[in-house]
């Protein structure tokens, strides 16, 4: 699962195909919507917010957490140069 924790306006500006939006501030209330056994790749702009959300989810018992280092900025630079950036 691709979990994008950026704000709604950021998600609207650009996103990795197939990702789901759950802004960071909503994760504490909404994390029960996530499946504990899924591999969850957490995405933000540069990787800091996703790292924090990953730490929180691990504390909540999620085991398969992956932080997309460099976030969508690195994805646009290294994987999909057609992706809009901000």
**Residues labelled as active-site residues:** 44
Model confidence over 5-45: pLDDT tens digits?
A: 999 999 999 999 999 999 999 999 999 999 999 999 999 99
Give Cα separations from 17 to 4, 58, 61, 68, 72 (angstroms). 11, 25, 27, 14, 11
What would the CATH number be for the domain defined by 2-78? 3.40.250.10
- Predicted TM-score (pTM) of the model is 0.95
Model confidence over 53-68: pLDDT tens digits?
A: 999 999 999 999 999 9
Query: Is 71 in a helix, a strand, or coil?
Result: helix
């Amino acid at each position: 699962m691709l979990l994008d924790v950026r704000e709604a306006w950021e998600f609207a500006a650009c996103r990795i195909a197939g990702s789901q939006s759950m802004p960071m501030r909503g994760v504490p209330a909404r994390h029960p919507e996530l499946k504990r056994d899924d591999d969850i790749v957490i995405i933000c702009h540069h990787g800091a917010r996703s790292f924090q959300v990953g730490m929180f989810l691990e504390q909540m018992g999620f085991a398969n957490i992956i932080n997309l280092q460099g976030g969508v900025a690195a994805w646009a630079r290294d994987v999909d140069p057609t992706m809009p950036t901000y």
